[in-house]
Structure 1
């Protein structure tokens, strides 16, 4: 086209006619095309990447707008970005991934009231300074298993070629719950023990006096002699009879509210039963549908045996408390899960 434009002495109309005569089987460009092609060659010096450069500039502009929206509002959804910028959602995903951006979930953490961070820091500092004691701490806790269980429909899927229209029942007319006690020490699971009815101070002290020592019979004698009993600050744990019993059976060797080593309030992330055992146990126990109060009792025992048969996982959970304590110290007693 440039050669013909020069052959016709820069006459665009004549160049178009000459081009049609010389190349009758090709698509004939308009006279203006010859003029603009010559102008571009004169200004730019080459034709390489004309269209690619324009597309690249357009793509870079889209990238800047997409990334800019994410920087202004980190919680914005790709669907909203797609709607606002009129860009396909798949393209938004590819752009963000290419830019090294990933959708991270926000973690839920326990609310810490004023002064709690000091308690947590004090306990974690003691634990870090006596790191050899982690094998002898008996962590204990209670949990309630209900009929409805815990079912997250947002993350529950049923793969099929057609919609199976699966449902999950909830809001049962006949409800029941089971109160379970468990303990963890080193690589051992102690229990479970089922409480009949609601947990009160009287029920708890009867358990400590009549059931706890029986549950600890299979524990090595060396470990039993050095047990450091831990419990949280639940009201049944703070009864005068409970404190007196623990002072007698575990003199200067128990952790809890009113004990020789206070347990920091609102600290489920420092006990392996809360951050490991209960979630694991419930996920196994609720695999089967529960229709009567007797069924969860049987499933709890089966689940406990499965967990007990994996001592390596239990030891990893109890040992990780020491790692969590150091993270808590680094956070000055505050939240550390996000680290």
Structure 2
């Protein structure tokens, strides 16, 4: 391409992108080096190297690394290189270039007990049946949850580095009890109901108790549903103690007769199932990914 385009790097890169749209075009220095080698030797291959051949990535080492990884995949590259008697750089090249392996992190999920699998499956099947039996069921469903948002920010030491000729001795002070705010939200098909902040008269965050949760239901959720004109609503809440206290359940049953998805409700909610509700599945993660350091709770959550 380079020779055919009158030794123009720009034209060569354009033609390369047209022919290989999913591959990055080589830089000018690489293009000229290949062209020079092609004119001098008739080939773009590297010239044979003189001296003793390097044996770090030998077939024996590759097989040894493969067997070691299959036997103990969680061993660090530093310790594995020491155990196999090869350099860490050679080990990394064997893992990536020869064995096509990459490091993966452990994913943390909620623990499920043996009975939880059947309960979750029965719940999902019942939701499907209810969607078929009741007209426009998704528009009548409100799924709710609370979440904590830390106001002081968080520093990840693993992702923060300071380069210099000397150690700057940088220290990040953190409070013993970091400031946070507890937020409640409800999600229905076309809107987010909330946020509602659990706080005292001075604007300080407070824990969610049964009494405070009932106050939220009376003074915020039920008036909001009336304001939006939402009727015959199915209300979902998880099995937190504040949600399922006797007085709380009496209030919820009166507000949503026969349409309560909860522990001790008309529609049993399976325990340990945060992934089955919209706030945990989408809303909280979306808000925290948009702004990790929430300095103004109303500005970032409304």
| Structure 1 length-normalised TM | 0.62
> Contact 2:56–2:86 (CA<8 Å) still a contact in 1?
no
Which is richer in helix?
1
Is 1:242–2:241 an aligned residue pair? no
Question: Residue deviations 1:56-115, cap 9 Å, x none?
Answer: 797110100111110000111111221122222222222112322221211111122342
Unaligned 5+ segments in structure 1 are 1-48, 289-295, 306-339
> Contact 2:236–2:261 (CA<8 Å) still a contact in 1?
yes
- Alignment of structure 1 residues 268-279 onto 2, 5 Å: 268-279=274-285
Q: Write out the 4+ residue segments of structure 1 that deviate beyond 6 Å after TM superposition.
A: 54-58
* C-alpha RMSD of matched pairs (Å): 3.1
Question: Residue deviations 1:266-290, cap 9 Å, x none?
Answer: 11122232243333434555425xx
Unaligned 5+ segments in structure 2 are 1-47, 200-205
> Contact 2:185–2:196 (CA<8 Å) still a contact in 1?
yes
Shift of 1:149: 5.2
- Alignment of structure 1 residues 247-258 onto 2, 5 Å: 247-258=253-264
Residue number in structure 2 paired with 1:210: 219
Residue number in structure 2 paired with 1:168: 172
The structure-2 alpha-carbon separation of the partners of 1:158 and 1:175, relative to structure 1 and needing over 3 Å to count, comes to: closer
Residue number in structure 2 paired with 1:301: 298
> Contact 2:57–2:94 (CA<8 Å) still a contact in 1?
no
> Contact 1:285–1:300 (CA<8 Å) still a contact in 2?
no
> Contact 1:183–1:190 (CA<8 Å) still a contact in 2?
yes
Residue number in structure 2 paired with 1:100: 100
Question: Residue deviations 1:122-160, cap 9 Å, x none?
Answer: 112223444564444212112233455554322x32465
Residue number in structure 1 paired with 2:119: 119
Residue number in structure 2 paired with 1:201: 210
Residue number in structure 1 paired with 2:145: 141
> Contact 2:148–2:180 (CA<8 Å) still a contact in 1?
yes
Question: Residue deviations 1:175-217, cap 9 Å, x none?
Answer: 5442221122234222111123332212211221121133335
Is 1:89–2:99 an aligned residue pair? no
Report the number of matched residues: 241
Q: Which has the larger radius of gyration?
A: 1
Shift of 1:170: 1.9
Distance in 2 between residues matched to 1:65 and 1:279, nearest whole Å: 42
